Amino acid sequence: MLKKRIGSFGIILIIALIFIFLPFVYNNQSFLFNMMLYIALAEGLNIIYGFTGYLPFGYVGFFGAGAYSASLAILFLHFPPLLSIFIGGAGAFLVGIILMPLLKLSGAYFAIANLAASQALYYIVANPNLESITHGPYGISLASIYNPHASYYTMLAVLVLSMIIVLFIRTSNFGLSLLAIKEDHITASLAGVNVAKARAIAWGLSAFVAGLSGACFAWYVSVFYPGTVFSLNISVIVIVFALFGGIGTIAGPLVGALILYSFYNFIGISAPEYFQLLYGILIIVLVLFLPDGITSILQKRKIYVP
């Protein structure tokens, strides 16, 4: 177990070093920021989907809640950006607690209810009657604290944190409890696992990671609209990235986001007119030939994937 933990820490360290030094070599910082953002979100989704089997189609709701919580902390409470990022995570965690009854549902019912909840949140935030609080549909401007470099490295810290959380779950008894719940929650309960508590912790951690990511995103772009941070495209992209790499591991969502986001940008830059065609073909190939993700190739050969 110790060996596996050290190996996984090695991967996290390498990723951190790459993103620390990459801006000095490749200065499209927005691309690198988005890459980190999607890896962190894919890891956050992995916590709930990869280990408990709950697919949150409305995962973007936590992301948006984080972006808005942090922004309101900056605009109204005049909190410094780093504290506000934490508030963003806490705000999403709070939303996670409010939405906890959804965990009583399962399968498609949970996915749809979660999607509806994220849309409800979007309409609440974008309500013109709440203009004095959320700025309604007219967007938020954080131009006064715009700092792309600081927000970049804060995002890196969130990425590392998300990977450490997944590492902890992957290599702890708590993770084993979650996997047992994923297989059969009644059997897990009979074996002494506190199903409700374990699921709630995973749900809250997943929401917290998405909230921190949303808060960093808000700081990085500095001007955004509700539609930007509650866009369902974000949920879809993150789910596809996690599935492409393979869920239930640290490496799967990481590899998925690294490959697919790079490919996404590569096509967008080199062959924008064929974007939909090429991206669609890639996803079809994935579904047909690698339904358990890229890392399943190694797992089938009994090679340990962190």
Partner 1 sequence: MFKLRSLFFSSLMFILIFSATSTFGKSIPSVIKIGTLYASTGPFAKASESQFKGLKFWVHNVNSKGGVFVKAFKKKIPIKLVAYNDQSSTATAAAMYNQLITQDHANILVADFGSVLTSVAVPLAKEHRRLLFDVTGTGAKFFTPDNPYVVLTSLPTSGRWPYTLADFIIKHKINKIAIIYSSNDFDQSQAITLHNKLRKAGVDIVYYNAVPSSTSNYAVLLHSIKAKNPNAVIEFGYPNNDIAFLQNLGSSGLKFNMVFTVFPGQLFKLLKSNVGEQGLAYTYTYPTPPLLRYNKVNLGVGIDEFELAFKAYSGKSPNFLNVAGYNVGLIIKKTLETANRYNQLSFRRAIGKFSGKVFTLNGLFMVNKKGAQIGEILPIAQFVMKDSKLKMNIVYPEKMKTADAVYPAP
CA atoms within 13 A on the CB side of 304: 9
Nearer to partner 1, 108 or 223 (CB): 223
CA angle (104, 241, 188) in 5-degree steps? 35
How distant, in Å, are the alpha carbons of 27, 73, 84, 88 from that of 80? 27, 9, 6, 12
Closer residue to partner 1 (CB): 88 or 246:
88
Residue ranges in 16-45 that form contacts with partner 1 under rule CB under 8 A: 27-31, 33-34, 37
CB 247 within 8 A of CB 46: yes
Near partner 1 by CB under 8 A: residue from 269, 277, 285, 287? 269
Task: Write down the least CB distance from residue 83 to partner 1, Å.
Answer: 22
Binding mask 40-59 for partner 1 (x = CB under 8 A): --------------------
Residue 214, Cα to own-chain centre: how many angstroms?
9
Which CB atom, from 115 or from 294, has the smaller least distance to partner 1?
Answer: 115
By CB under 8 A, name the one of 2, 25, 143, 303 that touches partner 1: 143
Cα→Cα distances 46→143, 185, 203, 227, Å: 33, 18, 10, 24
Is 284 a residue that touches partner 1 (CB under 8 A)?
no
- Is 7 one of the binding residues for partner 1 (CB under 8 A)? no
Q: Confirm or reject binding of residue 227 to partner 1 (CB under 8 A).
A: yes
Q: Which of 141, 187, 194, 262 binds partner 1 (CB under 8 A)?
A: 141
CB of 223 to partner 1, least distance (A): 4
Shortest separation between residue 198's beta carbon and partner 1, angstroms: 33
* Residue 189 is a binding residue for partner 1 (CB under 8 A): no
Residues 276 and 71: their CA atoms lie apart, in Å, by: 34
Helix H, strand E, coil C: the string for 176-199 is HHHHHHHHCHHHHHHCCCCHHHHH
> Per CB under 8 A, does 291 bind partner 1?
no
Query: CA 292 to CA 246: how far, in whole Å?
Result: 6
CB atoms within 10 A of CB 214: 34
Question: Smaller CB distance to partner 1: residue 36 or 65?
Answer: 36
Contact assessment for residue 219 and residue 145, using Cβ atoms and an 8 Å cutoff = yes
* Count of residues engaged in binding partner 1, rule: CB under 8 A: 39
The footprint of partner 1 (CB under 8 A) covers 27-31, 33-34, 37, 123, 126-128, 136-139, 141, 143, 146, 148, 217, 221-225, 227-228, 231, 233-234, 264-265, 268-269, 272-273, 275-276
